[in-house]
Structure 1
Amino acid sequence: MADNKDYDVIILGGSYAGLSAAMALGRSLRSVLIIDSGLPCNRQTPYSHNFITHDGEKPNVIAEKAKTQVLNYETVKFLDDHAVGGRKTDNGIAIVTQSGREYKAKKLVVTTGIKDLMPDIKGFAACWGISVIHCPYCHGYEFRNQKTGIMANGERAFHIASLVNNLTDKITILTSGKADFNEEQISKLQKNNIKIIEKEVAEMVHEHGHIKHVIFKDGSEHSFDAVYAAIPFIQHSDIPVALGCELTEQGYIKVDMLYKTTIADVFAGGDNTNPMRSVSNAVAAGNMIGAVVNSEITQERF
């Protein structure tokens, strides 16, 4: 619970990147307020992989353990609330929450992630993060040698197919319309026996999120064990843009190598800044952000 209204740092988003930043700052005795609404983007994902010491662990178990450890640092506070607004002040940033409270800090760290926009396909959302997946490094090993679909087109589909081809030889690309590949790409797909279906998907039949088969709009079916999907997203929080932070062409918050946004005193990291959506990447980003923010505060006060 937040005991006061003024902090060195406010962190929006209390998942992996936010908690990692908070730990680095807490160990430097910085007063930190983490504001989190409890909706991580991987909340349906049953297991986290490709993260040493935590491989195969449930994501919420990692997060809860991290939260417990971070809150052992007495200068770090955690607020269960939703940040709805922000503004620049003479000395930093002010954040307003859904409960109507306002908090101020010298620095703001945004680790709120992104919000995936589910397509209008029956069963898709229920399978997302379980058997409809986004990353070969996070999920591919568990579906090795199994019947795998790739719901994408063009360069994105070709890239995923090249990676997944090392994990299974049972690959079908679902372009949901006319395939968009050049002659060289078509030749490589054919060489690797990768099929292409141009029909639009109407439904994903599943059991508790585990896909069984896809039904196309013409009524035909195709069985799969997993489907990779490239879907659009938006920023989970609109506060960075409201403060003036620039986004990239892809919709990520623009940051430099030190995770500084285009607005002074505002930092960002994790899923909201790059496509490498993994727990390990978020933790690494948060650790660096904590160090950089602490360094800035030190230089301003020393």
Structure 2
Amino acid sequence: MQYDVIIVGGSYGGMAAALQLARARRKIMVVDAGLRRNRFAEHSHGFLGRDGHAPGAIAQEAKEQLLAYPTVTWVEGKVLSAIRTDKGFRVETDAGQTPDGRRLILALGVEDLLPDLPGLKERWGKSIFHCPYCHGYELDEGDIGVLAVGPASMHQALMLPDWGKTILFTNGVFSPDEEQLAQLSARGVTVEPVPVDEITGHADVHLADDRVVSLAGIFTAPATRPASPLAGQLGCALDDGPMGPYIRVNDLKETSVPGVFACGDAARAAGSVSLAVGDGAFAGASVHRSLMFG
């Protein structure tokens, strides 16, 4: 089957790209594995018009609106591989489908590689977060912890006092120098050097010296990587961000491989629902432009 565009990933960025192309009456296929990055969170914040709504409800409503366009085909599954052909690109899904598309959009999303600490994984998206703009306000200016993962945690620790009294748990992976300690002190951040053993309750941090620090919430900065290896398979260039690699795109959201575009968290150093939707809308319009004018 030949499509104008195949979009790999049906979360916020992928659907935003698809919507622009559907409204241009282009024939598109969206292949989605159903693993939105924010699937662990009960509420999504900071997205204009949907602040506080459940992430799954936002995605479901968007999908229903998208599928009202007759030129959209939605496939639930995973794209295993993608290759260039003389007419564009061919992908293979885990169901054995091999559709062709003149253009390819990678809206792959990212995988969060969480610190290996007992109690963290099951609280991810509930009382442990990575984005203060998405979850800081709801902590109601309560005590906040920052669990260090490396030097990048300095940035989080300096940000979070705007949302509550902040403690930086260095946890043996980051030692602020004198200049950094002065910066932290100026922002009112307390530095806790004793290692963390586990997290229990809502957000109770158990330290190696048997103290327990109860918090309104905890932030950490997990390493990330694109949730699929497709960009590498296709030869797309990657850039190194502070938390991991992301797909390099130009101002039109096109990758280093002509005809392959990318959007959302996998194509920027940091992301959110709002940024993914904006990136996706622009990528969709850019792909349409390339179809019209080559």
Shorter chain as normaliser: what TM range? over 0.9
Tell me which residue corresponds to 2:219.
228
TM-aligned CA deviation for residue 154 of structure 1: 5.9
Q: What is the letter of the counterpart of residue 180 of structure 2?
A: Q
Counterparts of 1:1-302 in structure 2, within 5 Å, are 5-152=1-148, 155-168=151-164, 170-177=165-172, 179-206=174-201, 211-250=202-241, 251-300=245-294
Deviation at 1:120, TM superposition (A): 1.8
Give the TM-score, by structure 1 length. Answer: 0.92
Deviation at residue 117 of structure 1 after TM alignment? 1.1
How far did 1:138 drift?
A: 0.8
Mapped partners of 1:120, 1:179: distance in 2 = 16
Distance apart, 1:155 and its partner CA? 4.5
Deviations 1:11-46 (A, max 9, x none): 000010110100100000110000001111110111
Letter in 1 for 2:24: S
Report the 3-state secondary structure (helix = DSSP H, G, I; strand = E; otherwise coil) of the residue aligned with 2:255.
Answer: coil
- The CA deviation string for residues 59-107 of structure 1, in whole angstroms up to 9 with x for no partner, is 1111011001111111011001111111111121110011111111010
Code of the aligned partner of 1:292: S
- Report the count of equivalent residues: 291
CA distance in 1, matches of 2:175, 2:200: 27
| Conserved? CA contact 1:178–1:198, under 8 Å | no
- 1:247-288 CA-to-partner distances (Å, cap 9, x unmatched) read 112300111111111111111111101133211111111100
Secondary structure of the residue that 2:142 maps to in structure 1? Answer: coil
Once residues 91 and 32 of structure 2 are traced to their aligned partners in structure 1, the CA distance between those partners, rounded to angstroms, is: 12
Q: CA deviation at 1:153?
A: 5.7
Task: Give ranges in structure 2 of 5+ residues lacking alignment.
Answer: none
Task: For 2:131, give the aligned amino acid.
Answer: C
CA contact (8 A) 1:116 1:231 kept: yes
Quote the offset at 1:198 in angstroms. Answer: 2.0
Gaps of 5+ in 1: none
RMSD of equivalent CA atoms: 1.5
Moved over 4 A (4+): none
Residue 281 of structure 1 aligns with an amino acid whose one-letter code is: L
Q: Give the Å deviation of 1:178.
A: 6.0
| Gap change, CA 1:103 and 1:171, over 3 Å in 2 | same
- 2: distance between equivalents of 1:245 and 1:22? 21
Instruction: Supply the AA of the counterpart residue of 1:124.
Output: L
SS at 2:37 equivalent: coil
Deviation, structure 1 residue 127: 1.0
| 1:15 to 1:178, Cα distance in 2 relative to 1, 3 A | closer
d(CA) in 2 for partners of 1:178, 1:83 = 36
Of stretches 242-251 and 196-205 in structure 1, the one that deviates more from structure 2 is 196-205
Q: Percent identity?
A: 35
